[in-house]
Chains A and B, each alone.
Chain A
């Protein structure tokens, strides 16, 4: 005569067995879940436009675009520099009209002596 094991003997079912028994059903439910796992989202009318706006542009086109955009600033800087250069540089008249001496070497030597 076989002795029945103590513990879960006689009970409707052990937890581990329950889990194993229910496993195919849970697997099937998981499979159903995967099948139904979908956002169901549709693209709106502006989607293609948004993508097109993000497309890379050719390098030459980017350079051209940047040059065009920077043109006013470039012109302004050029004008300011030109004005500044004209202001600080002595005119050609003043340079040619000044003749320090007939003897440039002597004049230079005198000037260096004077500055000491």
Chain B
């Protein structure tokens, strides 16, 4: 059973490698297949940072378009998935910063069912909007995706020290916001 799974994985990886090679040569059909192969992964990651369907779709499209334009920079030594993850994270980061600059009307987000108290959930939602895109980004990767500092550094191409410093700053700001008056539970 395990061997079968392994064989299937190897087959997918081989297919993916072939699709990447054809896409580098400019084959758009091959790239469309590559999109189909990775779209769920990209949507899942983009969905971590954006709530509205159109935002997730926009960032996912931007990820694949950037990947298409920069496909020649991809080194086949590393898995394509890692490279695409980095592209996606950079697109999400850029979109978060842009969204912050434009300051759109606050969207009504559904309260998270995991947080038992709806009032607290709403309060935390409000709090999340007060965080800068940089802080929000790093906290969503650490607490949302559950990645370690080393994983984030590897996936984003940042140094570990950089990730640690950003994470420390983000946690400090989060703590400061939670300590502010008006964030108490009633």
Interface residues of A (CB under 8 A from B): 15, 18-20, 22-23, 26-27, 29-43, 47-52, 54-56, 58
Closest residue of chain A to B34, judged by CB?
Answer: A48
B contact residues, total (Cβ < 8 Å): 53
Question: Does A34 lie within 8 Å of B115, measured CB to CB?
Answer: no
Which A residues are in CB contact (< 8 Å) with B69? Answer: 56
Cα–Cα, bound, A34→B174 (Å): 12
Question: Does B61 lie within 8 Å of A31, measured CB to CB?
Answer: no
Cα–Cα, bound, A78→B151 (Å): 64
Question: Does A36 lie within 8 Å of B65, measured CB to CB?
Answer: no
Which B residues are in CB contact (< 8 Å) with A31? Answer: 143
Least Cβ distance of B87 to chain A in Å?
A: 13
The answer to whether residues A54 and B28 also contact, given A23-B178, A32-B115 and a CB cut-off of 8 A, is no
Which B residues are in CB contact (< 8 Å) with A49? Answer: 32
Cα–Cα, bound, A37→B141 (Å): 11
Question: Does B60 lie within 8 Å of A37, measured CB to CB?
Answer: no
Question: Does A41 lie within 8 Å of B43, measured CB to CB?
Answer: yes
Question: Does B184 lie within 8 Å of A51, measured CB to CB?
Answer: no
Question: Does B35 lie within 8 Å of A51, measured CB to CB?
Answer: yes
Cα–Cα, bound, A20→B183 (Å): 11
Total of A-B residue pairs, C-beta within 8 Å: 118
Which A residues are in CB contact (< 8 Å) with B31? Answer: 52, 55
22 residue pairs A–B, Cβ–Cβ below 8 Å: A22-B184, A26-B178, A27-B174, A29-B117, A30-B143, A34-B139, A34-B142, A35-B143, A36-B115, A37-B51, A38-B48, A38-B144, A39-B46, A39-B52, A41-B53, A41-B56, A47-B60, A47-B61, A48-B35, A51-B61, A54-B65, A56-B68
1/0 per residue, CB under 8 A from A, across B132-154: the answer is 00000001101110100000000
Selected interface stretch from B10-18, B95-103, B123-131: B123-131
Which residue of A20, A29, A38, A58 contacts B124 across the interface (Cβ within 8 Å)? A29
Which residue of A29, A37, A48, A58 contacts B120 across the interface (Cβ within 8 Å)? A29
Which A residues are in CB contact (< 8 Å) with B29? Answer: 52
Cα–Cα, bound, A115→B104 (Å): 76
Question: Does B43 lie within 8 Å of A33, measured CB to CB?
Answer: no
Question: Does A30 lie within 8 Å of B174, measured CB to CB?
Answer: yes
Least Cβ distance of B41 to chain A in Å?
A: 10
The answer to whether residues A55 and B43 also contact, given A32-B112, A33-B121, A37-B144 and a CB cut-off of 8 A, is no
Least Cβ distance of A17 to chain B in Å?
A: 12
Question: Does A48 lie within 8 Å of B127, measured CB to CB?
Answer: no
Closest residue of chain A to B23, judged by CB?
Answer: A55
Which A residues are in CB contact (< 8 Å) with B120? Answer: 26, 29
Least Cβ distance of A2 to chain B in Å?
A: 29
Which A residues are in CB contact (< 8 Å) with B108? Answer: none
Cα–Cα, bound, A108→B150 (Å): 94
